[in-house]
Chain A
Amino acid sequence: MTTPTSTKPDTRPAAAAAPGRSAPRRWAPGAGVLVAVALLMFVPAATDSFYTFVATRMLLLGLLATAFNAVFGFGGMSSLGHAAFFGIGGYAVGIGVTRWDWSPGTVLAAALAAGALAGAVFGLACLRVRGIYLLLLTLALAQALFGLAFYQTEWTGGDNGIPNIPRDGLPAAVREGDGYYRLTLVVVVLCVALLWMYQRSPLGMSVVGTRESESRMSAAGYRPGALRTVAFAVSGAFSAVAGVLEVYLQGSVSTASMSWQISADVLVYAILGGARHFFGPFLGAVAVTGLEVWVSTYTDRWMTVLGVVYVVTALFLADGVLGRAASLLRLARTKSGAGSGTSAEART
């Protein structure tokens, strides 16, 4: 059996935050997030158009990673097929806008529905498989969709994709550059907030329960298979939204949006940031995207650097940056007196 992270002590999900805190403390994080979002609104004012573009990509890739983690970190299922959902969102824009002149609202609804449907299919197909077989099965499913995108040229434009997708449907204020960044920010914040609510809701928490023990959950009256399917559907729907944002940003869609390398990248974002923490994957996406921009100013060999990032992540960051930080924090607290220390723990 695989679970996404190793046996290191810090594996408490973010959704496990203790309730029953006093009112000011409970509102503090919410207020902090609001302030942060308000500040992020001013990013375009502080940078040029290139960095605004980068920031937009960070946001939408962060959303993709957060959605991915509904299956990966919280569901305990290692998917290597999330490019499919991202691509579905992308082609919803490309095909919907160029063929039927869909409005952005229609595109979004279609992408959510198609992403959820595809996610449910993935979830159902994966009912009987675990570990390495789950990785391979999700990869095969995503590649099957890639095959469609590649060869159904009449619909998808094949390898060249669909270029010059008009953005006329978007209100003029948010069509380009800074405005589009702000639109992306609002959509991403909304989606991430919904995912946050879902993740700590009874439904989301029971998916986490399934990660911990399927037999315990079914003995309690839950259907683990249904919960796994729900996790995939939720994840697929929001991943598709990220794909929609990407394609409106780029103005074109191609098979690159469905390439398995996206699936691998998002997996690494999640591990690198810390899959057991709600914001870990988002952090990972921002970090790797930022690194790419920074490295690219010095060298053309970004893929080599990315490879090194993968290797380092695998060898040293199984719990991710946030996982590391949390265990350091706990260690410090233990040393300073209180705390219960770490516990040796047998995993199932």
Chain B
Amino acid sequence: MLTWLTHTVNGLAYGSLLFLVASGLTITFGLLRTVNLAHGAFYLLGGYLAYDLASDGTDYWIALALAVLAAAAMGTVVQRAFLHYVAGRELPQIVLTLGIAYIIGDQILANYGGDPVAPQTPPGLEGPVTIGDWTFPKFRLVMIGVAIAVAVFAGALLRFTPTGAKVRAAVDDEEIARAVGIRVPLIFLLVFGFGTGLAAFAGVWGGAFTSLSPDSGFDMLLLALIVVVVGGLGSIGGALLAAFAVGLIDQYGKVWFPEWALFTLYASVAALLAVRPRGLFGKAVTR
């Protein structure tokens, strides 16, 4: 019984990590109509920067903040210097962000090597929590809390601020959003920086969760893409639910039918996309 509880909470914790990566991706898509395939690279960037700083003796929390800020800054640079010029054109955006992902990933490989590194668990969150007979790593529980907090925070931003209203408008009706001139470059920069900063934060904690290697950027990207697709492109609440679902399926799948786990995951996503392109929680399209 307790094993199942552990599997379930593990799944939720992993889902939380996925959500942290996916939330930035889905917000970016909502406003910019860009599936940013460099998102996984920003995950890596944050993870490795914080790891590097912390192993040089910088205070953990300062290292984390610096890594997140650096990734956010770099995100805005990428958006302004490159993505800006292919606004509204999906295919060039995909090729462009993939190229940037290759560059960042390769530079990380050059600097840190290809072997996985294991960043430390955040100080204060080490060790287990014991409730009755059940023990579980404290860090993972906190991760779930953080994911929910981010979801609530981002959701509130979307719901109650003018910027959020514009994002929602853009998600609801791209044409009209464009027509009323929502493509304000400054908002784009901020949203993009916010998204990449979130990815970097996920990288710092995700590294401590699963370890960090240059390959893990694309692994996370693909899983986050699933979350975004299932949750409905642009939907925060959908992304949270989808992230939990994917986390649980991944966890149970590894326990129950490891040979079929990856196939089942992607095949169900494909089936969903084929039938309901806008995802489970996205607006249905009438075609």
Contacts and interface: CB of A to CB of B under 8 A. Distances in A.
On whether A and B touch (CB less than 8 Å), the answer reads yes
Nearest to B228: A136
A260 B101 CA distance: 14
A204 to B, nearest CB: 22
A15 interface: no
A315 interface: yes
Interface string A144-163: 11111011110000000000
Interface size of B as a range: 35 or more
Contacts of B222: 143, 260
Given A143-B222, A150-B262, A310-B102, A137 B274 contact: yes
Given A128-B277, A301-B110, A151 B93 contact: no
A132 B90 contact: yes
Interface in B19-45: 33, 35
A131 B95 contact: no
A143 B35 CA distance: 17
B262 A151 contact: yes
A315 B94 contact: no
A129 interface: yes
Nearest to B226: A140
Contact of A147 (B90, B106, B225, B262): B262
A4 interface: yes
A303 interface: yes
B82 A315 contact: yes
A145 B229 CA distance: 19
* Interface footprint category on A: 35 or more
A304 B102 contact: yes
B95 A125 contact: no
Contacts of B261: 147, 151
Most chain B C-beta atoms within 10 Å of own C-beta, residue among A126, A127, A264, A311: A311
**Interface of A (DSSP majority class):** helix
Contacts of B271: 125
A301 B103 CA distance: 9
B95 A313 contact: yes
B287 A307 contact: no
A136 B229 contact: yes
A128 B287 CA distance: 8
Given A126-B274, A310-B102, A271 B269 contact: no
Interface string B58-86: 00000000000000000000000010011
Contacts of A260: 222
A309 interface: yes
A334 interface: no
Interface of B is mostly: helix
Given A141-B266, A148-B263, A151-B259, A136 B273 contact: yes
B270 interface: yes
A314 interface: yes
A215 to B, nearest CB: 12
A148 B267 CA distance: 10
Contacts of A315: 82, 85-86, 92, 96
Contact of A135 (B90, B99, B101, B265): B90
A133 interface: yes
A227 interface: no
Contact of A304 (B85, B106, B233): B106
Contacts of A80: 94
A126 B278 CA distance: 13
A132 B89 CA distance: 10
Contacts of A271: 91, 95
A144 B103 contact: no
Contact of A151 (B35, B82, B260, B287): B260
A2 interface: yes
A322 interface: no
A146 B225 contact: no
B98 interface: yes
A139 B265 CA distance: 13
Contact of B266 (A132, A147, A309): A147
A216 B262 CA distance: 40
Given A308-B99, A308-B103, A314-B95, A144 B90 contact: no
Contacts of B259: 151-153
B258 interface: yes
Interface in A148-203: 148, 150-153
A86 to B, nearest CB: 17
A319 to B, nearest CB: 11
B95 A268 contact: yes
B226 A151 contact: no
B98 A310 contact: yes
Interface string B180-206: 000000000000000000000000000
Interface in B230-287: 233, 258-267, 269-271, 273-275, 277-278, 287
B106 A301 contact: yes
A310 B96 contact: yes
B263 A129 contact: no
Give the top 4 A-B pairs by smallest Cβ distance, nearest first: A310-B99, A147-B262, A307-B102, A307-B103
Given A132-B233, A147-B267, 11 more contacts: A2-B91, A132-B35, A140-B269, A147-B261, A150-B262, A151-B260, A151-B263, A267-B95, A301-B106, A307-B98, A310-B95
27 contacts: A6-B92, A78-B90, A127-B274, A128-B277, A129-B277, A132-B35, A135-B35, A136-B35, A137-B270, A140-B267, A140-B270, A141-B266, A147-B262, A147-B263, A147-B267, A148-B263, A151-B258, A264-B95, A303-B109, A304-B103, A304-B107, A306-B102, A309-B99, A310-B96, A310-B102, A311-B82, A315-B96
